[in-house]
Amino acid sequence: MVKICCIGAGYVGGPTMAVIAFKCPNIEVVVVDISVPRIDAWNSDHLPIYEPGLDDVVKKCRGKNLFFSTDVEKHVCEADIVFVSVNTPTKTQGLGAGKAADLTYWESAARMIADVSKSDKIVVEKSTVPVKTAEAIEKILMHNSKGINFQILSNPEFLAEGTAIEDLFKPDRVLIGGRETPEGAKAVEALKNVYAHWVPVEQIICTNLWSAELSKLAANAFLAQRISSVNAMSALCEATGADVTQVSYAVGKDTRIGPKFLNASVGFGGSCFQKDILNLVYICECNGLPEVANYWKQVIKINDYQKNRFVNRVVSSMFNTVSGKKIAVLGFAFKKDTGDTRETPAIDVCKGLLGDKAKIDIYDPQVSKDQIQRDLTMKKFDWDHPMHLQPSSPTSMNKVNVVLDAYEAAKDAHGICILTEWDEFKALDYKKIYGNMQKPAFLFDGRNVIDADKMREIGFIVYAIGKPLDQWLKDMPAVA
């Protein structure tokens, strides 16, 4: 029986290995992590991450050919294929601070693999890593190999949170990069055979190592660029009276462009987009390509601009101050159908409102009070370190209240900010909500999930991203 071990039981490692185990009953899959609470959660009825369909997949395989363990060294030693899915946070100090990836955890994993291995292994990069990481890992393994043969493969993950299981079951493509040597080709074929259990062979793309590593960064940069492009257009739509939904629909009908990732919003979030673009910027700068670096920097600048613009619109609309006013924030996760809050726009929006001394009530169906408090008090980039290295007891914020439903959040509020596109926010009784709010009652839709005209009929003053402005909002323009 082929044995696979995955180091890292997070958003990538956990779901990916669960699906491999489900689709390959003849392969033993073990997910290892040094975090006891995380592994305990994977072995319980309450998994550590929320992802539609994940529960069913895990429960069908767990204890049969899918296992979760803290005995890292034992399972790495026994494995034929070792996936490494550890954190690659952005450096906060030293060379490349604020842009370069911190490979501390990757290097530590590589040294441990070399130290405990007693047989040849295929080591697979599953984390998003800078180009040429494989070369560095190769050197560590080679100089500590004790005669053992290691082959390094790059197998970047392209799943999207909220649809991860569906993406894993029916991927657009599986990308495997390896050395262009007989040994490298053999390793690529071994991993290809795993995915071929359920992925059509023509959708498994094989490249050299560097192309695979760069393809992941490029894919995320291109997707983020589309979001920043439509968000840039949303500002122009508001200024001219155009409707960004109509514009993006018309643009998306062009088959060369297509409709995906053209929804205007308060901004993109998630663990990869900003981090990968910063990484790409750093790589460009290191390779003497400042013009290319500046091009990609602008994608992040527009994203930051969009979040700041939203906060400015809220404050300016409410008589240029939210000091002492209650604002209901509906949604804290960076997108619907996930509890992930990494780089969520809600953090910057909430901090911006708190900076003007607002009182905030937050409701999200999947994000805990502890996580929200942690996110609002954590330093930038700290979120991407393992949980045990993050601040353990978040500072309580007396101007932030986390509540159990949207109606409680909106009670006596002066304004509502919708920051995540949860389906339940479309079905709320907004007449009831309006009746329990301070007047005038403001509704700021950062995801374009509600019918603005119907909300105006109820009595709300509505701001929706990229939509024609109410007269009230025209009279109180947002100043960036």
Unique residue bearing structure tokens 């981090």: 275
Residue 465 pLDDT exceeds 60: yes
- The reply to whether 242-464 shares the fold of 3-199 is yes
Every domain of the chain and the residues it spans: 3-199, 242-464
pLDDT tens figures, 228-253: 999 999 999 999 999 999 999 999 99
Does the annotation list 86 as a binding residue? Answer: yes
Structure tokens, 258: 């297509």
Residue 130 pLDDT exceeds 70: no
Q: Which amino acid is at 398?
A: N
pLDDT band at 478 (very low <50, low <70, confident <90, very high): low
pLDDT band at 147 (very low <50, low <70, confident <90, very high): confident
Structure tokens, 405: 């439903």
Q: Which helix (H) or strand (E) holds 116?
A: helix 104-116
Does the annotation list 181 as a binding residue? Answer: no
Could you tell me which CATH class the domain 242-464 is placed in? alpha beta
Does the annotation list 273 as a binding residue? Answer: yes
pLDDT tens figures, 360-376: 999 999 999 999 999 99
Does the annotation list 21 as a binding residue? Answer: no
Q: Which range, of 20-34, 120-134, 145-159, averages the lowest pLDDT? A: 120-134
Report how far apart the first and last C-alpha atoms of the chain are (Å, whole number). 61
Contact 135, 110 (CB under 8 A): no
What pLDDT was estimated at residue 213? 85
Task: For residue 217, give the nearest of 99, 334, 333 by alpha carbon.
Answer: 99
What pLDDT was estimated at residue 475? 74
* d(C-alpha 246, C-alpha 249), whole Å: 5
Q: Does residue 272 have an active-site annotation? A: yes
Q: Which range, of 49-53, 136-140, 305-309, 310-314, averages the lowest pLDDT? A: 136-140
Give the rounded distance of the alpha carbon of 192 from its chain centre: 26
Residue 406 pLDDT exceeds 80: yes
Question: Of the residues 272, 284, 350, 417, which is catalytic?
Answer: 272
Residue 380 pLDDT exceeds 90: no
* d(C-alpha 204, C-alpha 194), whole Å: 11
Does the annotation list 323 as a binding residue? Answer: no
Mean pLDDT of the chain: 91
Q: Which amino acid is at 278?
A: L
CATH superfamily of 3-199: NAD(P)-binding Rossmann-like Domain (3.40.50.720)
Strand partners, 150: 121
Residue 441 pLDDT exceeds 90: yes
pLDDT band at 143 (very low <50, low <70, confident <90, very high): confident
pLDDT tens figures, 197-229: 999 999 999 999 889 989 989 999 999 999 999
Cross-sheet strand order for the sheet of 461-464: 400-402, 359-363, 326-330, 415-418, 442-445, 461-464
Does the annotation list 24 as a binding residue? Answer: no
* d(C-alpha 328, C-alpha 445), whole Å: 12
Does the annotation list 452 as a binding residue? Answer: no
What pLDDT was estimated at residue 51? 92
What pLDDT was estimated at residue 450? 96
Taking the CA atoms of the chain, what radius of gyration do you get in angstroms? 24
Unique residue bearing structure tokens 């795993």: 194
Does the annotation list 329 as a binding residue? Answer: no
Residue 42 pLDDT exceeds 60: yes
What pLDDT was estimated at residue 455? 97
Q: Report helix, strand or coil for 27.
A: strand
Unique residue bearing structure tokens 């082929």: 2
